[in-house]
Structure 1
Amino acid sequence: MAISWLTALKAVPWSDVIEATPVLVKGARKLFKRSQDEAAEQETASSTERPQTLGEALDRLQRLEAELAQLSRQQADSAALLQSLAEQNARLVVAIEGLRLRAKLLLGGCAALGGGLIALLVWQLGR
């Protein structure tokens, strides 16, 4: 995977990454809070006794269908959030790889400059 650091840095839309971060954090917090609230609701709903009449059974069935639809929506929201996080993570990996290559280049440049300075000092002292 040999790409230049400049290409890697240009490939990352940093403004999009910076803009998306608060939205992702807010979405994750919202999703977590909603899942916690619904877990508490489900505990209270599941603790009720079995329905005695047909009307109660139908009401319970409708309530369960509504909960199932809500869980499906939450799952879709979670999947969208995870996809967004995965895309952002992939961009960050590319950027980090570019920075790693850049650091190697800078280290090599510093070593070359240091070697050149040492050679210059040796030459000047030898005169």
Structure 2
Amino acid sequence: MSTTLEMAHALYHNPQIKMESSFFGLRKKIIYAKTNSIVEGKCFEFNPAEGEKIQRLMEANANDFGAMLRQEGVPETCENGNYRLSLCFSKDHQFAAFLLQRFVDFEYRNLGEARFIEGDSAEVYLHPFLK
């Protein structure tokens, strides 16, 4: 399954996410239900060293995330990287969904399941990626 489909599947099954149709059902909006904020997405790729850094950051709790980021620095993206981070976030930065994948055997494979973060913690995790 592609990265886009895997993230869409994870969002669809999250109870805090709702889908709205408009323009005769041809256009869909994804909304974070708690704040009624529209959800957008981005995708980033990283080389192996930066990808391992991202993996450590994604496994950290919100309290450790900031300290790790200050110590290791913001991961730098590259083109055609071995690691891919799919990110969906509400425009108000109160919701974030992360899916980290690694390129193995000619395809991207998940490194765990999609991670959902809400509230002020979401903004902490989004900060290095949304400049």
| TM-score for the superposition, normalised by structure 2 | 0.21
Structure richer in strand, relative to its length: 2
More helix per residue = 1
